Structure 1
C-alpha cells in the first residue's frame, strides 16, 4: 500500500511538474521573442511568439493576450498588416480593454487604408488610456521628412564628434523605417566610437607601467635585474586567450545584433584566428556572411561548423534555409537527410525536410516528414498547418481539414479563405 501511495505521488508530481515546465517554456519563448523584437530580429521574434501561444495554460490568459499583441507588433514591423489585425482581434477576445491591442489594430487598419476602422480603434485606445490616467497623443504617421530630420541631426552630431547623440538620432530614423543607408551611417559612428575607446585605453596603458614585486612603481620597459623576470603585477603583455575570445565573440554578436555586419565579421574572424575549432563562431560567421549576401562563403563556413560538430542542429537549419533561398532544393533535401541521420529525434529537422519536399512539389514525401515531426512534437501548430496544406495538394481534403483545425486550436492564425475552401470541399460548411 505504501508503494502504491508513493507511485501515486510520483505520477501526480510528474503532472504538476509537466504543467509547470510547459508554462515556464511559454514564458521563455515570449521573453525571447520580446528580446528579438527589441533588436529588430523580427522573423525570429515571430517564430518565438508562435511557439509560446500554444503552450500557455488557462490561467495565463493575460500573458497570452500580451503575446498576441507582441505578435501583431512584429507583423506590423514586417508590413504583414492583415496578420496583425487577426492577432489583435485574438488579444481583444481575451481582454477587450487591452490598450496596446487597440493601438496595434488601429495602426494595421490605417496601413491597410481602412481609415474609419483605424479612427475607431485609436479612439478606443485614447479612451482606455484616459481611464488609466496614461493618456498620450497618438502620433501622426511618420513621413520621409521625419526620417530626413533625424538623419540630418545625426550627420551634424557626427561631424561635431558628438557620437552618442548621433547614434540616438540614427536609431530614431531606423525606428520609423529600417534602411540600409541609415544602418551604414550608424555603423560608421559605432566604428569611430570603438576606435576612440581603444585610443583611450592605450593612453591609460602608456601612462602607467605598473609595479614590481615590491610594490614600487617602475618606468616603461625597465632593464631587468639579474634573476628578475619582468616584475609586473597590475598589467600583462598578453590578455589571456579565453578572455580575449569571449570579448571578441561578445563584441561580434553585439555588432551583428545592431546590423553592423562588416564589424561582426571582423570580430568573428579574429576569434577563429585564436581558436580555429570554435564551432559556434563558425556558425555566427556563416550567419553574418549570409546576411551580407556572401552566400558561397556562408556555405563553406556552415559546412565547417557541421564537420566539427555533426550534432549542431542550428548549423544544419541555417545552411538548409540558405539552400532553399538559393533555390538549391536538392541540396537542402540531401543536407536535412544527413542531419536526421545524426539527429533522428529532432522535430525541426523533420519539419524542414518536409518544407524542402513541399517546395519541390514532392507532397507525398512532405506528408511523411511532417507526420514524423508531429509524432515527436504534436503541439507545434505550424507543422499541423503545413501538413494540412500538403494534404490539400494531394486532394486529401478531410485530412487537410483535420490538421488545419488542429493548427487553429493550437493558436495558429490560418488563412480564412483556405479554411472556407476546405469546408466547401469536405461538405462541412
Structure 2
C-alpha cells in the first residue's frame, strides 16, 4: 500500500474514499480502495472498485490480477483465467499472472499448459517459489518424478521452509515406495506450518 496515515484497514478505506471524493478519476485510488476491501474479504465492494480502476486506466495490470483472485475465490476458473490473460497481454514480463494462469490449468488437469505458464513465471522471477513448487506438482501429476523432485528442490533452495515443496517431495517419495524419505518430508512440511492431508500420512504409513 502507498504511504498512509491510517492505523487500521477501516481508516485506510475511509482515506481512499475521501481521496476519491476529491479526484474520482484516479485509477490508483480506486485500486487501493479495492485492495483495502479485499483485506476485509469484502469481495463485491473490492470487485466494483477494481473495475472502476480499470475504467480509469485499462493498463493497470495489478487490477486484472486482483480480479482474477476474486474469481478464483468464487471457484470461477474461466473468469480467473481471462483476467490473468488480460494482464499478460498488457505486461508480458509480469510473473504473477503467468503463475495464476498455470494454476488454473493445473486445477483443470491441463498439465502441459500449466507447465508452460509456470515456466514463464519462473523465467520472469527466478525466485518465485510457489511457481517452482507448482511445477513440481504438475510434473508429479504427469508421473515425471525426477522433474518433480528437481523443481521442488529448486524452490527449497530459495525458501528452505516452503511447506508445499516438502509436501510434493513426500508424494514423490511415496510414489517411489521410499517410506523414510516420505516421512522426513512430511515432518519438514509440518515444521513449516503446512497442513499435510491425512490421506498422504495414511498412505505413507501403509508402506512396508
Q: Same fold (TM over 0.5)?
A: yes
> How many Å separate the matches in 2 of 1:412 and 1:273?
39
Shift, 1:336, TM fit: 0.6
Matching residue within 119, 123, 133 for 1:337? 119
1:389 maps to what in 2? 171
* Aligned residues of 1:261 and 1:292 also touching (Cα < 8 A): no
Q: Which residue of 2 aligns with 1:325?
A: 107
Give yes or no for contact 1:385–1:404 (8 Å, CA) kept in 2: yes
Distance in 2 (alpha carbons) for counterparts of 1:412 and 1:285: 27
Q: Partner of 1:374 in structure 2?
A: 156
Q: Secondary structure in 2 aligned to 1:345?
A: coil
Q: How far apart are residue 413 of structure 1 and its match?
A: 5.2
Task: Give the structure 2 partner of residue 230 of structure 1.
Answer: none
The TM-score normalised by the length of structure 1 is 0.38
Distance 1:408 1:289 in 2: 30
Deviation at 1:268, TM superposition (A): 1.8
Residues 179 and 204, structure 2, Cα contact 8 Å, conserved in 1 = no
Of residues 180, 202, 206, the one that matches 1:417 is 202
CA contact (8 A) 1:354 1:368 kept: yes
What is the CA deviation profile of residues 350-409 of structure 1, one whole-angstrom value per residue up to 9, with x for unaligned ones? 101111222333333212211221222222233223202112112234433443343345
Going from structure 1 to structure 2, the CA distance change for 1:399 and 1:280 (only over 3 Å counts) comes to same
1:239 pairs with 23, 26, 30, which one?
A: 23
Indicate the residue corresponding to 2:33 in structure 1: 251
Match for residue 407 of structure 1?
189
Q: Contact 2:164 / 2:194 at 8 angstroms: preserved in 1?
A: yes
- CA shift at 1:288, angstroms? 2.7
Structure with bigger gyration radius: 1
Q: How does 1:179-198 map to 2 (within 5 A)?
A: none
Hey, what's the Cα distance between the residues in 2 that align with 1:251 and 1:343?
27
- The answer to whether the Cα contact below 8 Å between 2:121 and 2:128 also exists between their aligned partners in 1 is no
Q: Give the direction of change, closer, same or farther, for the CA distance of 1:349–1:293 in structure 2 (3 Å limit).
A: closer
For the Cα contact (< 8 Å) 2:84–2:97, is it kept in 1?
yes
Alpha-carbon distance, 1:301 to partner: 1.9
- CA drift of 1:254 comes to 4.5
RMSD over equivalenced CA pairs, Å? 3.3
Q: Deviations over 1:231-257 (max 9, x none)?
A: xxxxxxx8274xx32432233334545
TM-score computed with the length of structure 2 as normaliser = 0.71
Separation of aligned partners in 2, 1:307 and 1:274: 18
Q: How many residues align?
A: 188
Deviations along 1:295-339, one digit per CA (max 9) or x if unpaired, are 433322202223444453432333222222233332211111121
Aligned mates of 1:288, 1:410 — CA distance in 2: 27
Report the Cα offset of residue 279 of structure 1: 1.8
Structure 1 pair 268–373 and aligned structure 2 pair: CA distance change class (3 A):
same
* Cα 1:319–1:239 shift into 2, 3 Å: same
Q: Cα gap change, 1:419/1:300 in structure 2, threshold over 3 Å: closer, same or farther?
A: closer
Q: How does 1:96-111 map to 2 (within 5 A)?
A: none
* Counterpart mapping for 1:26-425 below 5 A: 239=23, 241=25, 244-256=26-38, 261-412=43-194, 414=196, 415=198, 416-418=201-203, 420-421=205-206, 425=208
How has the CA–CA distance of structure 1 residues 260 and 357 changed in structure 2, closer, same or farther, with 3 Å as cutoff? same
Q: Structure 2 unaligned runs (5+)? A: 1-7, 9-16
